[in-house]
Chain A
């Protein structure tokens, strides 16, 4: 994986010093909260319900064991012994003191990590496929391109005071595991007729209060022009987005108002203006970055067979392990969704353990998924049983990846100052209701996603079943959505009708699932059945 050189390190160290200065000016009273807030948000520091919260970037969700251990150390030293993996492949700490924030950043910089542009109106951490470099269905590892664009969009002078936040995703497979089309800018690596590598470019996706699946804006962009084209997209948006209403300033609104055709024309025209001053990054820089992502030294003698005689292990393998491109290896998913747990939370001890196990079993590398789980991308099949036993002993082996209890949930009103309702207790009640391993496996892939407010950090629009918490006259109320998807068949869920209270929404999910079981045809997932039969039968079951 990528390693900083002296330049990257200097940039991050300078940012630590700058932030320390800004925090000191705030504490000394030289900055008001109004002045400080946008500065701290550019560096991932929020003020939440109970304390400050720090979001640390995990670029495209990839990190090594040393970095993972530092995340555990920070949880112990500055927080309360745990941390939360987010739906954008980052990690956040809930109990941070302003007076220690710069010290945390300094500690992070010793392992080549930072919190730069993890919040505020900035170009955020780049997302990618958690199976990058391991899955057989990719045409190339997307992460060098994600790293290239990460650097090129860090401290960008023209695009640091944007209309709103801006999220980029880079993928390289037909199967979309990164919700690429729900990003402001999505790159999908493809090959053209001549076999050359380029991108399909998608612009204007997003969740939030007005969700959109992004349209295709360019069907082939040569890879060497990724940066200049990105600048063109950003400049068109920066110049022409609305600035009068914070809820209408994302690029998705501009694409919606203009239409994809006009957006495409504007971007192409701007790109032609930019190209003569071409600032594209030369191929040799991409090649330099790519050397850090070369495949590890796989053992060509690694055995294909897995001894599945332990029935619990077999269930875990069936549910959490995915094929690897190299014979004798597998991709192992670690679910952070135990029954009674908090989706995405891990204790410092669990984080340390995962670091140790990744070092031992997965070439010292871990991935964070947007579903708030962890991936070991390169595990020898012959090591899977030993790995599973150690994970299981630490509560890290729920066999529920992509099942109904593998719930995505934002922190909700238990932590977040924007939330209208709690998300975590609803997730816990639903997970408990469907905790029977056989029963949830029988339901098959069912992505359930919960947000505690319309900002949609819990991706409820893209859940096969989505839940949105709202404030109804001072009490928590939950709306049910059906039919969303964040995958390659991206779609937005539709609200079923009037909302429910906390127990009501758990029952409503159960009713919806029962209806699906009644209606499904052979091999149909919930989403397939919903798409075939539509909303009506579910609505009838829920409200009549």
Chain B
């Protein structure tokens, strides 16, 4: 809710975020995508993860996989056009890593981005903190 302290959810300053609560991190020419602490916290126990195979084409805004927590299937949306270079087999085997370490061992895919200047469309960590502050209860 809007009055909750911003510190409730961890936000790392070394990466970008999109409005699907996914993080995007540049490592040289590769971009890693994962879910934010907010997502894992509000989802609860994550039980299943479905990810694309390497070589899969990512189309910005289109689902590239899904996660299931409790009784909810949530889509994962491609933050950019590109191609999947690697998917994290460890989280497919152990989805609880997404709860335990969403910014580290719980990464989802590594990809090559078609447009190298794509980062201008994402939120900085500060913008994302403000975005989180607007989340409301019904």
Are the chains A and B members of one assembly?
no
A residues sitting closer than 8 Å to B (CB atoms) are: none
B residues sitting closer than 8 Å to A (CB atoms) are: none
